[in-house]
Amino acid sequence: MGRPGDGDMTTRARGLRNLRAALAPVAAGVCVMAATAAVLVPVLGGGPAPRPAPYGTHSARADAAAADCTPANAAASLRPSPADGPTVDKIKERGRLIVGVDQNTYRWGYRNPATGDLEGFDIALARAIAEDILGPDPKISFRAIPTSQRIPALQKRTVDLVVRTMTINCARKRQVAFSTAYFQGGQQVLAPTNSRITGFDDSLKDKRVCTAAGSTGETRLTEERHGARVVTVPNQLDCLVRLQLGEADAVVTDNALAAAQAAQDPTVQLKGKPFTDEPYGVAVNRDDTDLVRRVNQVLEDYRQGGGESRWMAAYRKWLQADLPGISKAPEPQYSD
């Protein structure tokens, strides 16, 4: 229900979309349309049948950004703003922030079995965003969403944000909007401490290398096999099981996830250097530019204070032990 193109879309909205198409190149027209659409956007969760605005209503600028997206500027986002836009208003009205997270990535987003609560670097950031929007002790609904559901969940608006070790890239920017990078990750090799494997190189020859099906790791291993035999599993954490059971010799995955694996097994470690550049961002529906700016504002505050920033505190608490050597948060890039 409520998806664009559904039969229940009003004729008026369809007319407006056509009108908008005609006016699209005109900057002033875009502004007028944005204002009109803001009024038309139904309040999420406010009515019996919440109906998202047609795509593109708010994202004229985002479209432009996606169009000239290059790997170099992919992490660039909209300028921060503490102002409340329509999406932020909706969240406030609802009194609850809905965040898509992972629950299987140790140190990032995982459920502490002792308390049953979700914890980790991603979760801490989601809480900081919720506190900024809703005030102290905010209500947050965490939804564990699988990797493949991160973008659909935003498009279907089952979540407001996705904070889930999600890499910013141009392909994804065409579908969702991202905040500035809150972590600089990259694919890396994980292997037993005493293994002769030295990194993503020919030391992988004839080794069984495990990676998650459909992941960047699998793509990179297809491009550059280094003589390795690739073992694919449904989830990156399954690779550590294979490694421990002697069914794999090494794992290729994001260093953040690899570090999460190393944190659960002291006999494995990250090998070599990250061989891809993967900035992590908070993903938002492309229409919600006000929310993107608001999240970027939170990130500005989060990074504030150098070595004493909240970002560094979270890093020290969750990541430093297995991902040492980081002294500050990644620098934000802005596109406007």
Partner 1 sequence: MSNPQTGAAPPSGRAPSPGLSSAGSGTFAGSGSAAGSSLASGTGTGTGVGRRRTAWADGVDQLRAAATTEPGRLRIIGAVLAFLVVAFGAATAWQVTDRATAARDVVEHSQPLSADAANIYRSLADADTTAAGGFLAGGKETQATRDRYEADIAMAARLLAKASSNTSGSDTAARQIAKLNSLLPRYTGLIETARTNNRQGLPLGGAYLRYANAQMRGELLPAARELYVAETARLGEDYDSAKAWPWLALSAGVVALGALVWAQRRNYRRTNRLFNYGLLAATTASAVVLLWLAVGHSVARAGLNTSYEDGARSLNVLNEARIDALQARGDENLTLIARGAVVTKDQQDFYEVGYRTGMKDLAGAGRGDAAAADGKLGSALALADDDAGRRPVQEAVETVRQWQARHAEARAADDQGDYDRALAMVIGGDTATGQSFDRVDTQLARALDHEQQQLRRAADDGRGALTGLVTGAVVLALLGATGAVLGIGRRLSEYR
CB-neighbour burial class of residue 179 (10 A; exposed 0-12, middle 13-18, buried 19+) = buried
Is 160 a residue that touches partner 1 (CB under 8 A)?
no
Is 121 a residue that touches partner 1 (CB under 8 A)?
no
Is 148 a residue that touches partner 1 (CB under 8 A)?
yes
As a whole number of Å, the CA-based R_g of the chain is: 21
Instruction: State which of residues 126, 163, 181, 237 lies at the interface with partner 1 (CB under 8 A).
Output: 237
Is 302 a residue that touches partner 1 (CB under 8 A)?
no
**Beta-carbon contacts of residue 282 (< 8 Å; ≥ 6 apart):** 125, 129, 161, 162, 163, 166, 178, 179, 182, 295, 299
Instruction: State which of residues 175, 232, 235, 320 lies at the interface with partner 1 (CB under 8 A).
Output: 235
Instruction: State which of residues 146, 198, 224, 273 lies at the interface with partner 1 (CB under 8 A).
Output: 146
Q: How would you write 162-208 as a 3-class SS string?
A: ECCCCECCHHHHCCCEECCCCEEECEEEEEECCCCCCCCCHHHCCCE
Instruction: State which of residues 19, 24, 241, 326 lies at the interface with partner 1 (CB under 8 A).
Output: 241
Instruction: State which of residues 5, 7, 113, 246 lies at the interface with partner 1 (CB under 8 A).
Output: 113
Q: Residue 285: what residue type?
A: N
Distance CA 192, CA 196 (A): 9
Instruction: State which of residues 155, 184, 264, 333 lies at the interface with partner 1 (CB under 8 A).
Output: 264
Choice between 15 and 234, CB closer to partner 1:
234
Question: What residues does 209 pair with on adjacent strands?
Answer: 230, 250
Binding mask 82-101 for partner 1 (x = CB under 8 A): ----------------x---
Question: What is the total count of residues that contact partner 1 (CB under 8 A)?
Answer: 33
* Residues lying near partner 1 in the complex (CB under 8 A): 98, 103-106, 110-114, 116, 141-146, 148-149, 152, 158, 234-235, 237-238, 240-241, 244-245, 260-261, 264-265
